[in-house]
Amino acid sequence: MQIRPEELPAHLEGPLAPVYLICGGEPLLVQEACDEVIAAARGQGYAERQVMHVDSGFSWAELRNSAANMSLFSERRLLDLRLTPKQFDRAASDALRAYLEAPVEDALLLVRTERLDSRQRNTAWFKAFQKSAGVVQVWPVDVAEMPRWLSRRCERAGITLDRDALTFFSERMEGNLLAAVQEIEKLKLLELTMPVSLAALQDAVLDASHYDAFDLTDAALAGQPGRVRHIISVLRQEGIQPLAAHGSFVSQLRQLIEGPRRGLPKQRERLLRDAGRRLGRAELEQLLIDSALVDQRVKGLREGDPWRTLELLLLRLAGVRLLLTDTP
């Protein structure tokens, strides 16, 4: 049975499934979902928990043996099985499917792993989980969803943010959920006046976002000029050299001009295709020519700020029509 993460608390108030699979690419959210299952199990008498790591010396026979062995301290036991997606091999598939067909009474099996790709989600063992277990797939929080996610987390902590503060917080924390949770905990201790204003939040929150050159180019490809400006600001503050970002920009420009190569993920292919349609080949070729200015200004061959030059080029890639005074 598929259980959405937001539906998990209500589900856990009822009878528990004998097996749960928690998987996803965001470690914090996977951990929190597992913690919810563990807390619910403890409340229903599963007083003992055994953590099992699937490593090179692991035998899948241990799974059923551990579940079946009665404890001297508790009649009910929770098995916390941890493995990576690559460890779901033939032996794992056979053992897990056999367990699902005949789960051990008074034992609850919690299987946690990272993100499973589409091929793994079409395997026999995964379909067996969907049929006989509770399956919770946790997805990363994307840029568009971040304000809503942060708002819910703040509300759970008794904090309300005004609109400007929420926008600022989202921009600062995107891609770093753990840092966001830590900052929310700090805000709880400060006892700020509600709703928290932008000025109060800026005084209280450190910039915990971390970007690289690829994030910057992707923001331009996605047509997000505001994000381009924000990432450049963060990269400059962190002392990143402009040529590091320039290399990624030029590489993506060439790929746009030549056409996306085969084998790219569909989301990546769509991103490049949309950017190519937005600008057209002539504009892309002109951007590539103008990009040489960044290198020249870094080396002192031409006057001007290389970061400002790169910012204007990226804004053009993002679809911003610049004034004649805004030249690289």
Q: Which of 109, 144, 117, 93 is CA-nearest to residue 23?
A: 117
CATH class of 213-317: mainly alpha
Cα Rg for the chain, rounded, in angstroms? 25
pLDDT in tens, 277-312: 899 899 999 999 999 999 899 888 888 999 999 999
- Of 28-42, 143-157, 200-214, highest mean pLDDT: 28-42
pLDDT for residue 8: 96
Distances in Å between the Cα of 86 and the Cα atoms of 30, 62, 257 are 18, 19, 36
pLDDT in tens, 32-60: 999 999 999 999 999 889 999 998 888 99
Looking at the chain, which residues constitute the CATH 1.20.272.10 domain(s)?
Answer: 213-317
Distance, in Å, from the CA atom of 134 to the CA atom of 215, rounded to the nearest integer, reads 35
Half-sphere exposure of 35 (CA within 13 A, CB side): 6
pLDDT of 229 > 80? The answer is: yes
How high does pLDDT run on average in the chain? 88
Out of 3.20.20.150, 1.20.1250.20, 1.10.8.60, 3.30.420.10, which CATH number does the structure's domain 146-204 have? 1.10.8.60
CATH class of 5-138: alpha beta
> Residue 215: which pLDDT band, with cuts at 50, 70 and 90?
confident
pLDDT of 12 > 60? The answer is: yes
> Residue 64: which pLDDT band, with cuts at 50, 70 and 90?
confident
Looking at the chain, which residues constitute the CATH 3.40.50.300 domain(s)?
Answer: 5-138
Q: Could you tell me the two tokens for 66? A: 């551990």
pLDDT for residue 324: 45
pLDDT of 239 > 90? The answer is: no
pLDDT of 70 > 80? The answer is: no
Say if residues 27 and 181 touch (Cβ distance below 8 Å): no
Looking at the chain, which residues constitute the CATH 1.10.8.60 domain(s)?
Answer: 146-204
pLDDT for residue 290: 92
Say if residues 147 and 154 touch (Cβ distance below 8 Å): no
Distance, in Å, from the CA atom of 25 to the CA atom of 35, rounded to the nearest integer, reads 16
Q: What phi and psi, each to the nearest 5 degrees, are found at residue 209?
A: -75, 145
